[in-house]
Structure 1
Amino acid sequence: MSFAAANLAVVFYILAHLTDPRWSVGKDPTLESPQLSAGPIFQPITDTLNDILGSLTGSLNDAIALKNAFLTMPDFIIAAGWAFLLLVGLVIASRILSWFIEKDQMAQIERNTRDLADIRAQFGLAAFKDSAKSRS
Protein backbone atom coordinates (compact mmCIF):
# COMPACT_ATOMS: atom_id res chain seq x y z
CA MET A 1 0.00 0.00 0.00
CA SER A 2 2.77 2.42 0.89
CA PHE A 3 4.54 1.63 -2.39
CA ALA A 4 1.44 2.60 -4.38
CA ALA A 5 0.92 5.72 -2.26
CA ALA A 6 4.55 6.74 -2.74
CA ASN A 7 4.26 6.34 -6.52
CA LEU A 8 1.09 8.41 -6.61
CA ALA A 9 2.77 11.03 -4.43
CA VAL A 10 5.55 11.27 -7.01
CA VAL A 11 2.94 11.72 -9.76
CA PHE A 12 1.30 14.56 -7.81
CA TYR A 13 4.72 16.10 -7.18
CA ILE A 14 5.46 15.99 -10.92
CA LEU A 15 2.08 17.61 -11.61
CA ALA A 16 2.88 20.36 -9.12
CA HIS A 17 6.33 20.97 -10.66
CA LEU A 18 5.79 20.37 -14.37
CA THR A 19 8.57 22.61 -15.61
CA ASP A 20 11.18 21.23 -13.23
CA PRO A 21 14.33 20.49 -15.26
CA ARG A 22 14.77 17.11 -13.51
CA TRP A 23 12.20 15.53 -15.81
CA SER A 24 14.31 16.56 -18.84
CA VAL A 25 17.64 15.10 -17.69
CA GLY A 26 19.15 13.11 -20.53
CA LYS A 27 16.15 13.50 -22.80
CA ASP A 28 15.98 16.74 -24.73
CA PRO A 29 18.58 19.48 -24.61
CA THR A 30 17.41 22.94 -23.66
CA LEU A 31 17.27 25.56 -26.36
CA GLU A 32 19.29 28.75 -26.26
CA SER A 33 18.51 31.77 -28.34
CA PRO A 34 21.27 33.33 -30.41
CA GLN A 35 22.34 36.80 -29.37
CA LEU A 36 22.03 39.26 -32.20
CA SER A 37 24.37 42.21 -32.30
CA ALA A 38 24.66 45.15 -34.63
CA GLY A 39 26.09 48.59 -34.77
CA PRO A 40 24.83 51.44 -32.61
CA ILE A 41 22.15 52.39 -35.13
CA PHE A 42 20.40 48.99 -35.06
CA GLN A 43 21.02 48.21 -31.36
CA PRO A 44 17.41 48.97 -30.21
CA ILE A 45 16.04 46.65 -32.91
CA THR A 46 18.44 43.82 -32.06
CA ASP A 47 17.68 44.22 -28.34
CA THR A 48 13.97 43.84 -29.09
CA LEU A 49 14.66 40.80 -31.29
CA ASN A 50 16.87 39.29 -28.56
CA ASP A 51 14.04 39.74 -26.05
CA ILE A 52 11.53 38.11 -28.43
CA LEU A 53 13.88 35.20 -29.17
CA GLY A 54 14.64 34.80 -25.45
CA SER A 55 10.97 34.59 -24.50
CA LEU A 56 10.27 32.23 -27.42
CA THR A 57 13.07 29.84 -26.45
CA GLY A 58 11.95 30.07 -22.80
CA SER A 59 8.44 29.05 -23.83
CA LEU A 60 9.80 26.23 -25.97
CA ASN A 61 11.96 25.01 -23.08
CA ASP A 62 8.88 25.05 -20.84
CA ALA A 63 6.95 23.03 -23.44
CA ILE A 64 9.80 20.52 -23.70
CA ALA A 65 9.96 20.21 -19.89
CA LEU A 66 6.18 19.73 -19.80
CA LYS A 67 6.38 17.00 -22.43
CA ASN A 68 9.16 15.25 -20.52
CA ALA A 69 7.19 15.49 -17.26
CA PHE A 70 4.18 13.87 -18.91
CA LEU A 71 6.45 11.17 -20.33
CA THR A 72 7.87 10.49 -16.85
CA MET A 73 4.52 10.12 -15.05
CA PRO A 74 3.26 6.88 -16.67
CA ASP A 75 6.12 4.90 -15.11
CA PHE A 76 4.92 5.85 -11.64
CA ILE A 77 1.23 5.49 -12.49
CA ILE A 78 1.77 1.98 -13.88
CA ALA A 79 3.78 0.95 -10.81
CA ALA A 80 1.04 2.27 -8.52
CA GLY A 81 -1.61 0.48 -10.58
CA TRP A 82 0.20 -2.85 -10.31
CA ALA A 83 0.61 -2.32 -6.57
CA PHE A 84 -3.11 -1.61 -6.17
CA LEU A 85 -3.98 -4.63 -8.32
CA LEU A 86 -1.78 -6.83 -6.15
CA LEU A 87 -3.35 -5.29 -3.05
CA VAL A 88 -6.88 -6.03 -4.30
CA GLY A 89 -5.86 -9.62 -5.02
CA LEU A 90 -4.43 -10.00 -1.53
CA VAL A 91 -7.58 -8.51 0.03
CA ILE A 92 -9.79 -10.94 -1.90
CA ALA A 93 -7.56 -13.89 -0.97
CA SER A 94 -7.53 -12.91 2.70
CA ARG A 95 -11.32 -12.51 2.70
CA ILE A 96 -11.78 -15.97 1.16
CA LEU A 97 -9.34 -17.46 3.67
CA SER A 98 -11.10 -15.77 6.59
CA TRP A 99 -14.44 -17.08 5.30
CA PHE A 100 -13.10 -20.65 5.36
CA ILE A 101 -11.65 -20.13 8.84
CA GLU A 102 -14.95 -18.67 10.07
CA LYS A 103 -16.86 -21.59 8.58
CA ASP A 104 -14.53 -24.05 10.31
CA GLN A 105 -14.83 -22.21 13.63
CA MET A 106 -18.64 -22.19 13.40
CA ALA A 107 -18.60 -25.94 12.75
CA GLN A 108 -16.30 -26.40 15.77
CA ILE A 109 -18.65 -24.34 17.97
CA GLU A 110 -21.59 -26.45 16.78
CA ARG A 111 -19.69 -29.68 17.60
CA ASN A 112 -18.73 -28.35 21.03
CA THR A 113 -22.35 -27.36 21.71
CA ARG A 114 -23.54 -30.87 20.78
CA ASP A 115 -20.82 -32.46 22.93
CA LEU A 116 -21.81 -30.26 25.87
CA ALA A 117 -25.47 -31.23 25.41
CA ASP A 118 -24.49 -34.94 25.37
CA ILE A 119 -22.41 -34.56 28.54
CA ARG A 120 -25.23 -32.71 30.30
CA ALA A 121 -27.67 -35.45 29.25
CA GLN A 122 -25.33 -38.16 30.61
CA PHE A 123 -25.21 -36.44 33.99
CA GLY A 124 -28.97 -35.93 33.98
CA LEU A 125 -28.77 -32.16 33.86
CA ALA A 126 -31.25 -29.94 32.07
CA ALA A 127 -30.62 -29.29 28.39
CA PHE A 128 -28.35 -26.39 27.55
CA LYS A 129 -30.26 -23.17 26.90
CA ASP A 130 -28.83 -20.74 24.40
CA SER A 131 -29.23 -17.32 26.01
CA ALA A 132 -29.05 -15.59 22.62
CA LYS A 133 -32.05 -17.57 21.33
CA SER A 134 -34.07 -17.06 24.52
CA ARG A 135 -33.72 -13.26 24.29
CA SER A 136 -35.31 -13.00 20.88
Structure 2
Amino acid sequence: MDLLGGMSRDQLSIFSWVAATVFALVAGLWRPRRIYWTALGSVLLFAALNAGAGIYVLNHFGDSRWSAGGEPPLTAPSFSGTPVVGQFLGPLDSALNAVVGGVNEFLAFKQALPVALDFLAASGWALLVSFPLALLAAGISYAVARRRTADFEKYRATVDLLKEELEQVKRQISSGNSIDTALPAEGEVTDVRPALTRRR
Protein backbone atom coordinates (compact mmCIF):
# COMPACT_ATOMS: atom_id res chain seq x y z
CA MET A 1 0.00 0.00 0.00
CA ASP A 2 1.37 3.39 -1.05
CA LEU A 3 0.99 5.58 2.05
CA LEU A 4 2.41 8.62 0.24
CA GLY A 5 0.33 8.19 -2.89
CA GLY A 6 -2.12 10.93 -1.97
CA MET A 7 0.49 13.52 -1.00
CA SER A 8 1.68 16.23 -3.36
CA ARG A 9 5.20 17.64 -3.55
CA ASP A 10 4.40 20.49 -1.16
CA GLN A 11 2.67 18.14 1.26
CA LEU A 12 5.72 15.86 1.33
CA SER A 13 7.91 18.84 2.17
CA ILE A 14 5.53 20.05 4.88
CA PHE A 15 5.30 16.53 6.30
CA SER A 16 9.07 16.44 6.85
CA TRP A 17 9.01 19.74 8.75
CA VAL A 18 5.96 18.81 10.82
CA ALA A 19 7.32 15.38 11.78
CA ALA A 20 10.70 16.80 12.84
CA THR A 21 9.02 19.59 14.84
CA VAL A 22 6.62 17.22 16.62
CA PHE A 23 9.50 14.90 17.47
CA ALA A 24 11.51 17.81 18.89
CA LEU A 25 8.59 18.99 21.04
CA VAL A 26 7.67 15.55 22.37
CA ALA A 27 11.25 14.49 23.08
CA GLY A 28 12.03 17.90 24.58
CA LEU A 29 9.12 17.63 26.99
CA TRP A 30 10.04 14.04 27.83
CA ARG A 31 13.72 14.72 28.51
CA PRO A 32 14.24 18.46 28.88
CA ARG A 33 17.73 18.02 30.31
CA ARG A 34 18.92 16.41 27.07
CA ILE A 35 17.61 19.04 24.69
CA TYR A 36 20.87 18.94 22.72
CA TRP A 37 20.32 15.28 21.82
CA THR A 38 16.71 16.10 20.97
CA ALA A 39 17.83 18.81 18.55
CA LEU A 40 20.27 16.43 16.91
CA GLY A 41 17.62 13.71 16.64
CA SER A 42 15.10 16.07 15.03
CA VAL A 43 17.66 17.25 12.46
CA LEU A 44 18.58 13.66 11.61
CA LEU A 45 14.90 12.74 11.34
CA PHE A 46 14.37 15.68 8.97
CA ALA A 47 17.33 14.51 6.87
CA ALA A 48 16.04 10.93 6.76
CA LEU A 49 12.51 11.98 5.78
CA ASN A 50 13.76 14.21 2.97
CA ALA A 51 16.10 11.51 1.70
CA GLY A 52 13.21 9.04 1.75
CA ALA A 53 11.01 11.52 -0.12
CA GLY A 54 13.69 11.99 -2.78
CA ILE A 55 14.07 8.24 -3.25
CA TYR A 56 10.28 7.91 -3.39
CA VAL A 57 10.07 10.50 -6.17
CA LEU A 58 12.76 8.71 -8.18
CA ASN A 59 11.00 5.37 -7.75
CA HIS A 60 7.72 6.92 -8.93
CA PHE A 61 9.08 9.31 -11.54
CA GLY A 62 6.19 8.50 -13.88
CA ASP A 63 3.67 9.95 -11.43
CA SER A 64 1.85 13.02 -12.70
CA ARG A 65 2.41 14.79 -9.36
CA TRP A 66 5.97 15.67 -10.36
CA SER A 67 5.06 16.96 -13.82
CA ALA A 68 2.73 19.77 -12.80
CA GLY A 69 3.07 22.51 -15.41
CA GLY A 70 5.52 20.43 -17.45
CA GLU A 71 5.40 19.05 -20.95
CA PRO A 72 2.41 16.83 -21.75
CA PRO A 73 3.18 13.21 -22.69
CA LEU A 74 3.65 12.43 -26.35
CA THR A 75 1.32 10.18 -28.32
CA ALA A 76 2.35 8.09 -31.30
CA PRO A 77 0.34 8.32 -34.52
CA SER A 78 -1.45 5.20 -35.64
CA PHE A 79 -0.96 3.88 -39.18
CA SER A 80 -2.97 0.71 -38.80
CA GLY A 81 -6.12 2.52 -39.91
CA THR A 82 -4.63 3.56 -43.23
CA PRO A 83 -6.73 2.27 -46.15
CA VAL A 84 -5.37 -0.65 -48.14
CA VAL A 85 -1.94 -0.82 -46.47
CA GLY A 86 -3.06 -0.39 -42.85
CA GLN A 87 -2.92 -4.07 -42.08
CA PHE A 88 0.74 -4.12 -43.06
CA LEU A 89 1.63 -1.15 -40.83
CA GLY A 90 0.70 -2.78 -37.51
CA PRO A 91 4.33 -3.57 -36.60
CA LEU A 92 5.20 0.06 -37.31
CA ASP A 93 2.58 1.19 -34.80
CA SER A 94 4.07 -1.10 -32.17
CA ALA A 95 7.56 0.24 -32.81
CA LEU A 96 6.38 3.86 -32.68
CA ASN A 97 4.49 3.22 -29.44
CA ALA A 98 7.61 1.72 -27.88
CA VAL A 99 9.73 4.69 -28.97
CA VAL A 100 7.18 7.24 -27.75
CA GLY A 101 6.81 5.35 -24.47
CA GLY A 102 10.57 5.54 -23.93
CA VAL A 103 10.56 9.27 -24.71
CA ASN A 104 7.68 9.84 -22.29
CA GLU A 105 9.55 7.96 -19.55
CA PHE A 106 12.61 10.11 -20.18
CA LEU A 107 10.53 13.29 -20.02
CA ALA A 108 8.84 12.12 -16.82
CA PHE A 109 12.22 11.34 -15.27
CA LYS A 110 13.53 14.75 -16.36
CA GLN A 111 10.57 16.44 -14.68
CA ALA A 112 10.81 14.35 -11.50
CA LEU A 113 14.58 14.70 -11.12
CA PRO A 114 14.56 18.36 -9.91
CA VAL A 115 11.88 17.48 -7.35
CA ALA A 116 13.95 14.58 -6.04
CA LEU A 117 17.09 16.72 -6.01
CA ASP A 118 15.29 19.35 -3.91
CA PHE A 119 14.48 16.74 -1.28
CA LEU A 120 17.98 15.26 -1.41
CA ALA A 121 19.52 18.73 -1.13
CA ALA A 122 17.41 19.46 1.95
CA SER A 123 18.59 16.16 3.40
CA GLY A 124 22.21 17.06 2.66
CA TRP A 125 21.92 20.46 4.33
CA ALA A 126 20.34 18.83 7.37
CA LEU A 127 23.24 16.37 7.56
CA LEU A 128 25.72 19.25 7.37
CA VAL A 129 23.93 20.94 10.26
CA SER A 130 23.92 17.69 12.22
CA PHE A 131 27.73 17.45 12.33
CA PRO A 132 28.31 20.54 14.54
CA LEU A 133 25.24 19.60 16.56
CA ALA A 134 26.69 16.14 17.14
CA LEU A 135 30.01 17.64 18.26
CA LEU A 136 28.20 20.06 20.57
CA ALA A 137 26.02 17.30 22.04
CA ALA A 138 29.04 15.05 22.57
CA GLY A 139 30.96 17.88 24.27
CA ILE A 140 28.07 18.72 26.58
CA SER A 141 27.55 15.05 27.44
CA TYR A 142 31.25 14.68 28.22
CA ALA A 143 31.18 17.75 30.47
CA VAL A 144 28.07 16.49 32.26
CA ALA A 145 29.65 13.05 32.73
CA ARG A 146 32.81 14.59 34.18
CA ARG A 147 30.78 16.73 36.55
CA ARG A 148 28.80 13.71 37.71
CA THR A 149 32.02 11.76 38.22
CA ALA A 150 33.48 14.62 40.26
CA ASP A 151 30.30 14.86 42.35
CA PHE A 152 30.39 11.11 42.95
CA GLU A 153 34.03 11.23 44.02
CA LYS A 154 33.25 14.10 46.37
CA TYR A 155 30.31 12.18 47.81
CA ARG A 156 32.45 9.10 48.28
CA ALA A 157 35.17 11.12 50.01
CA THR A 158 32.55 12.59 52.34
CA VAL A 159 31.21 9.13 53.14
CA ASP A 160 34.73 7.83 53.86
CA LEU A 161 35.38 10.80 56.16
CA LEU A 162 32.13 10.20 58.02
CA LYS A 163 33.02 6.52 58.41
CA GLU A 164 36.40 7.43 59.85
CA GLU A 165 34.84 9.89 62.30
CA LEU A 166 32.30 7.25 63.30
CA GLU A 167 35.10 4.77 64.00
CA GLN A 168 36.86 7.36 66.16
CA VAL A 169 33.68 7.97 68.13
CA LYS A 170 33.25 4.22 68.62
CA ARG A 171 36.82 3.90 69.89
CA GLN A 172 36.32 6.80 72.30
CA ILE A 173 33.12 5.26 73.61
CA SER A 174 34.74 1.84 74.07
CA SER A 175 37.76 3.35 75.85
CA GLY A 176 35.43 5.31 78.15
CA ASN A 177 33.53 2.15 79.05
CA SER A 178 36.76 0.33 79.91
CA ILE A 179 37.80 3.13 82.29
CA ASP A 180 34.42 3.03 84.03
CA THR A 181 34.73 -0.74 84.47
CA ALA A 182 38.19 -0.47 86.07
CA LEU A 183 37.02 2.02 88.77
CA PRO A 184 35.18 0.48 91.86
CA ALA A 185 31.60 1.22 92.42
CA GLU A 186 30.60 3.81 95.06
CA GLY A 187 29.04 1.23 97.40
CA GLU A 188 32.12 -0.96 97.36
CA VAL A 189 34.52 1.66 98.83
CA THR A 190 35.58 0.61 102.42
CA ASP A 191 35.76 3.30 105.07
CA VAL A 192 38.99 2.69 107.04
CA ARG A 193 38.71 5.72 109.32
CA PRO A 194 37.12 3.94 112.37
CA ALA A 195 39.84 1.30 112.40
CA LEU A 196 42.53 3.92 112.41
CA THR A 197 40.79 5.72 115.29
CA ARG A 198 40.68 2.57 117.48
CA ARG A 199 44.37 1.92 117.01
CA ARG A 200 45.14 5.30 118.44
TM-score, normalising length from structure 1? 0.68
Shift of 1:45: 5.4
Size of the aligned set, in residue pairs, is 126
Residue 106 (1) aligns with residue 149 (2): yes
List runs of 5+ in structure 1 lacking aligned partners: 127-136
CA distance in 1, matches of 2:132, 2:62: 37
- Cα gap change, 1:125 to 1:60, in 2 (>3 Å): farther
Q: State whether residues 54 and 116 of structure 2, in contact with CA within 8 Å, keep that contact through their aligned partners in structure 1.
A: yes
**Alignment partner, residue 75 of structure 2:** 32
Greater gyration radius: 2
Q: Partners in 2 of 1:15 and 1:111 — Cα distance? A: 59
> What is the one-letter code of the residue matched to 1:41?
V
Q: 1:80 Cα deviation (Å)?
A: 1.6
Q: Which moved more, 1:36-45 or 1:94-103?
A: 36-45
1:54 maps onto 2:54 in alignment: no
2:138 to 75, 95, 110: 95
Task: Write out the 4+ residue segments of structure 1 that deviate beyond 6 Å after TM superposition.
Answer: none
C-alpha RMSD of the superposition? 3.0
Measure, in 1, the Cα distance between the counterparts of 2:97 and 2:164: 99
Q: State the match for 2:161 in structure 1.
A: 118
Confirm whether residue 72 of structure 1 aligns to residue 81 of structure 2: no
Tell me the equivalent position of 2:25. none
Q: CA deviation at 1:46?
A: 5.7
Higher relative contact order (Cα pairs below 8 Å, separated by 6+ residues): 1
